[in-house]
C-alpha cells in the first residue's frame, strides 16, 4: 500500500483547488531566490530529519530555499497526520503539510513539490500518449485519482521518471496495475530523487537563474539538524505520493 492511501483526500495526498499541472500561486521571489518559511511541529520527533533531507533534495539544485518561520504571514507547517498530504501552491497563512510515520524523505519531497505548486505527472492532459489507465483495477471510489487535470505543463516533456508520478499499482483493488506505461521498460513511481525534468520544472516555474545545481543546499535547519535525536511541536494540507 502506498503511503498516500492512508489519507482519503482528492488525488490521494492532495486537495485540488484548480485544474492545472503547475499552480499560479507560487511562493514569492526575492532577488532571484525563493525562501519558503517553515515550522516543524515537535510531535514529529525524529521525522524532522527526513524533512530536512527533503529540503536538501530541492534546494541543492534550484533557487528554492527553506528557512525557519519567524514572523512571516505565509509559511509551511509540518505536522502529524494519518498520511502524507499537502495543499497545492501557496494558499496563504499557516499552510499545513501532513507527515505520517510511514512518510520517507522522498514522500515528503513529493509533498513539498505540491506545496510549491505542482500536480501529479500522470494527471497531465497529454498522459494518454505515454501511459494507459487500467480502470478495471482501480479501487472503487478512487477513480478521481486518475483524472486528467487540464492546465499548465510549462511546455515540458512528460516525465515517467518524475517524483510526482504514481506507481503502477497505486490504488489497485486486486494487486494488478492501475497504470501501464506504453514503453514497458520504464519504471514509474520512484520516490528517491528529483528527476532531471523535476529540477528543470522547478527552475522554470520559479525563474531560477545561475548554477544552483553546483551550489549548497542553503537550508536554515535551526534546531532541526539532520540526525536530531529528541525534537518535540504546526497546520495541514492535502495530495498522492
Does 120 count as an annotated binding residue? yes
Angle at 194 between CA 163 and CA 235, to 5 degrees: 65
Rounded to an integer, what distance in angstroms lies between the CA atom of residue 200 and that of residue 38? 23
- 6, 11, 111, 212: the catalytic one is 111
- 98, 82 in Cβ contact below 8 A? yes
* Main-chain dihedrals φ then ψ at residue 200, nearest 5 degrees: -65, -35
Query: For residues 182, 186, 187 and 188, what is the CA-based torsion angle, rounded to 10 degrees?
Result: -50
Beta pairing, strands 75-80 & 33-40? parallel
Pairing mode of beta strands 94-99, 85-87: antiparallel
> Any binding-site annotation on 69?
no
Q: Where are the beta strands (DSSP E) in the chain?
A: 13-15, 29-30, 33-40, 64-68, 75-80, 85-87, 94-99, 131-133, 179-181, 239
Q: How far apart are CA 115 and CA 138, in angstroms?
A: 26
Taking the C-alpha atoms of residue 137 and residue 145, their distance in angstroms, rounded to an integer, is: 13
207 known member of a binding site: no
Active site residue 5: no
Q: Known binding site for Zn(2+): residues?
A: 110, 114, 120
| Positions marked active-site | 111
Q: Known binding site: residues?
A: 110, 114, 120
Amino acid at each position: 500500500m502506498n503511503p498516500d492511501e492512508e489519507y482519503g483526500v482528492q488525488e490521494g495526498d492532495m486537495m485540488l483547488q484548480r485544474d492545472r499541472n503547475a499552480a499560479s500561486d507560487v511562493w514569492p521571489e526575492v532577488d532571484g531566490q525563493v525562501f519558503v518559511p517553515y515550522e516543524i511541529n515537535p510531535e514529529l520527533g525524529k521525522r524532522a530529519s527526513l524533512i530536512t533531507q527533503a529540503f536538501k533534495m530541492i534546494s541543492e539544485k534550484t533557487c528554492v530555499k527553506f528557512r525557519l518561520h519567524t514572523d512571516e504571514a505565509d509559511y509551511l507547517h509540518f505536522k502529524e497526520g494519518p498520511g502524507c498530504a499537502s495543499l497545492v501552491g501557496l494558499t496563504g497563512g499557516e499552510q499545513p503539510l501532513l507527515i505520517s510515520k510511514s512518510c520517507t524523505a522522498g514522500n515528503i519531497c513529493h509533498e513539498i513539490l505540491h506545496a510549491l505548486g505542482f500536480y501529479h505527472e500522470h494527471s497531465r492532459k497529454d498522459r494518454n500518449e505515454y501511459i494507459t489507465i487500467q480502470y478495471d483495477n482501480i479501487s472503487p471510489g478512487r477513480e478521481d485519482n486518475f483524472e486528467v487535470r487540464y492546465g499548465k505543463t510549462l511546455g515540458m516533456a512528460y516525465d515517467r521518471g518524475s517524483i510526482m508520478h504514481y506507481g503502477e499499482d497505486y490504488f489497485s483493488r486486486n494487486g494488478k496495475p492501475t497504470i501501464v506505461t506504453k514503453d514497458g521498460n520504464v519504471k514509474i513511481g520512484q520516490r528517491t530523487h528529483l528527476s532531471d525534468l523535476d529540477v528543470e520544472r522547478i527552475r522554470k516555474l520559479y525563474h531560477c537563474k545561475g548554477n544552483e545545481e553546483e551550489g549548497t543546499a542553503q537550508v536554515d535547519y535551526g534546531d532541526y539538524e539532520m540526525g536530531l535525536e529528541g525534537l518535540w511541536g504546526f497546520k495541514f494540507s492535502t495530495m498522492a505520493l
